[in-house]
Amino acid sequence: MSTSHKNKLMEDLQVVIEDAEALLRMTAKEAGDSAADVRQRVQARMEQAKLELLHLQDAAVAQAKAAGQAADAFVHENPWKSVGVAAGLGLVLGLLLGRR
């Protein structure tokens, strides 16, 4: 799963959690033991979802940092290869854009 898909998923989960919290606030005045029980279960599941969302965010940040560090290490260990790859990519992009 790409980073943009993970970010979109995290944003969507955050919206769902916020909507569920708003729904709980709106139904807080509902009477009855069953309504209170349902609200407690939903709140517990939302707290769990928030924790999982935080873990997902932490994992995504850690992966991005690791990728950055790996790229940095590669460039430092192989500067001429990095220059060659960058020049090659620049040439290919230049040729593709020049054709349009």
Which residue from 99, 100, 20 is spatially nearest to 53, judged by alpha carbons?
20
Contact of 80 with 33, CB cutoff 8 Å:
no
- What pLDDT score does 38 carry? 73
The span from the CA of 80 to the CA of 10, in Å, is 38
Instruction: Over range 88-97, report the average pLDDT.
Output: 90
Helix (H) or strand (E) holding 28, with range, is none
- In angstroms, what is the C-alpha Rg of the chain? 24
Total domains present in the chain: 1
Q: What is the pLDDT of residues 34-81, one digit of tens each?
A: 767 777 777 788 788 788 888 888 888 898 899 999 988 988 888 898
Residues in the chain: 100
Mean of the per-residue pLDDT values of the chain: 81
Question: What domain range includes position 42?
Answer: 3-98
